Structure 1
Amino acid sequence: MKKLSVIIPCYNEEKTIIQLLSKIETVNLAENTSKEIIIINDCSTDSSEKLIRNFIALHSELSIKYFKTDNNKGKGASIQMGIANATGDFVIIQDADLEYDPEEYNLLLKPILDGFADVVYGSRFMGSKPHRILFFWHTIGNKFLTFLSNMVTNLNLTDMETCYKMFNSSIIKNISLKEKRFGFEPEVTAKMVRFPNIRIYEVGISYYGRTYADGKKISWKDGFHAIFCIIKYGLFKAK
């Protein structure tokens, strides 16, 4: 029996966290694959804590690990905590909002279970699945960061900034991650290519994007920091 560890960083997601957890609960993974859910509450100031604990109490049959930080450390720090506590054969990152659909875990799992991939990225910019139409400059920024990342890593990804990244645990647990906030995406991409003979795949996924009024948190400042991370970890190969 294989196991998928779903890592969920959560900061002030009271509007969506229960709906997300309910979706994950009902996902039927590929044959002979179970799941564990790892929630990292990054010191939320809304009712996320209460909602999560109530959900756990009502779903004792699920394999759920719950952690809460003493102060707001950032998405990257939450992911690092999740990876350290993951016991699955595979790991996927799942934002606590509803921009990405857990029903598509099997799309990312298939190339790994079939023996072709070690890492699979879910791309919002390929395939025929539904995508909400939102911000022009945000899309241009994502594509520019992917282009810049590809230049220094010699990959041909279409969506480096995607949340949906699935790793073989033997890969992700052996990457020394430093970035505490939104620099996780370019850092992990730059560092994973250093593994000899690593096999990286992409699959098209849905994207139900949200606006800043809905609670979207990433900003133009994070874009500039991503450029810094691409140069630092990709071009100069910082550890």
Structure 2
Amino acid sequence: MKLSVVIPIYNEKETIRAIHAAVQAVPIDKEIILVDDYSTDGTREILNELASPSTRVLLHERNMGKGAALRTGFGNVLGDIVIIQDADLEYDPQEYAKLTRPILEGKADVVYGSRFVTGEYRRVLFFWHMLGNKFLTLLSNMMTNMNLTDMETCYKVFRREVLENITIEENRFGFEPEITAKIAKMNVRIYEVGISYSGRTYKEGKKIGWKDGVAALKCILKYNLLR
């Protein structure tokens, strides 16, 4: 089965070459889809260098957000399995094998990579980010009747058929609770796999903030109660 790796990008000139090389190094049949959300720091020029038969580059003509970039990427995948990969170096592509295993073994349709149920390493960083994540995951679980431990994780893996039945509406980080609410309403099998995590600081380029947490809270209510 072929893997489609969708990488949403915004101003990641310091890491894009490294993450692209790390994804390429994974010994799995795959395509890489780089979606640039109107970067202004020189990232686009680097993407032109990375384009190849196995790496497609898609460009937004204005900045719209991570959800919008993923919507563009999902609309162009050719693989049987689709995985989201952030453009920073917080998540390790060497874990693709264990993330896709439940799907390849016929047990799952969707897999979440959890940073909290894991025997792997993770960088110790922000307490309030962790607390906010756990609160949003708890509220999401209360609405969906699921027992996820990391709703906000980047690593979400889907059989392509699942994504073909979902329309992504959120343009920014509201994508995470939106997709979770929508798959919860489908007759699909969802698994979690423990992953490592090398989080970065704001000085190192982290972008998500408290306003995104408030937006995620609104999206949990919107897609679970109002739809």
**Could you state the TM-score of these two structures normalised by the residue count of structure 2?**
0.98
Q: Which residue of 2 aligns with 1:55?
A: 50
Q: Which residue of 2 aligns with 1:91?
A: 82
Question: Could you tell me which amino acid in structure 1 is paired with residue 14 of structure 2?
Answer: K
Alpha-carbon separation, structure 1, partners of 2:118 and 2:181: 24
Task: Establish whether residue 194 from structure 1 lines up as the match of residue 185 from structure 2.
Answer: yes
Q: Which residue of 2 aligns with 1:108?
A: 99
Q: Which residue of 2 aligns with 1:221?
A: 211
**Runs of 4+ more than 4 Å apart:** none
Q: How does 1:61-80 map to 2 (within 5 A)?
A: 62-80=53-71
Question: Could you tell me which amino acid in structure 2 is paired with residue 50 of structure 1?
Answer: E
Q: 2:40 aligns with which of 42, 45, 55?
A: 45
Alpha-carbon separation, structure 1, partners of 2:93 and 2:36: 19
Instruction: Please give the per-residue CA displacement for 1:166-223, whole angstroms capped at 9, x wherever unaligned.
Output: 0011001210110000000000000011112x10000000100000111111110000
SS in structure 2 at match of 1:192: helix
Alpha-carbon separation, structure 2, partners of 1:148 and 1:66: 36
Question: Could you tell me which amino acid in structure 1 is paired with residue 195 of structure 2?
Answer: I
Task: Establish whether residue 158 from structure 1 lines up as the match of residue 149 from structure 2.
Answer: yes
Alpha-carbon separation, structure 1, partners of 2:50 and 2:218: 39
Q: Which residue of 2 aligns with 1:24?
A: 23
Instruction: Please give the per-residue CA displacement for 1:103-130, whole angstroms capped at 9, x wherever unaligned.
Output: 0011111000000000000000011111
Q: Which residue of 1 aligns with 2:220?
A: 230
Question: Could you tell me which amino acid in structure 1 is paired with residue 10 of structure 2?
Answer: Y
Question: Could you tell me which amino acid in structure 1 is paired with residue 199 of structure 2?
Answer: G
Residue 55 of structure 1 and its aligned partner are, at CA, apart by 2.4
Q: Which residue of 1 aligns with 2:13?
A: 14
Alpha-carbon separation, structure 2, partners of 1:67 and 1:50: 13
Q: Which residue of 1 aligns with 2:158?
A: 167
Q: 1:36 aligns with which of 23, 26, 31?
A: 31
Question: Could you tell me which amino acid in structure 2 is paired with residue 27 of structure 1?
Answer: V
Alpha-carbon separation, structure 1, partners of 2:185 and 2:36: 31
Question: Could you tell me which amino acid in structure 1 is paired with residue 135 of structure 2?
Answer: F
Task: Establish whether residue 209 from structure 1 lines up as the match of residue 199 from structure 2.
Answer: yes
Instruction: Give percent identity, aligned residues only.
Output: 56
Q: Which residue of 1 aligns with 2:121?
A: 130
Residue 235 of structure 1 and its aligned partner are, at CA, apart by 2.4
Structure 2 segments unaligned to the other structure (5+ residues): none
Alpha-carbon separation, structure 2, partners of 1:125 and 1:28: 26
Question: Could you tell me which amino acid in structure 2 is paired with residue 193 of structure 1?
Answer: A
Residue 35 of structure 1 and its aligned partner are, at CA, apart by 0.4
Alpha-carbon separation, structure 2, partners of 1:127 and 1:219: 25
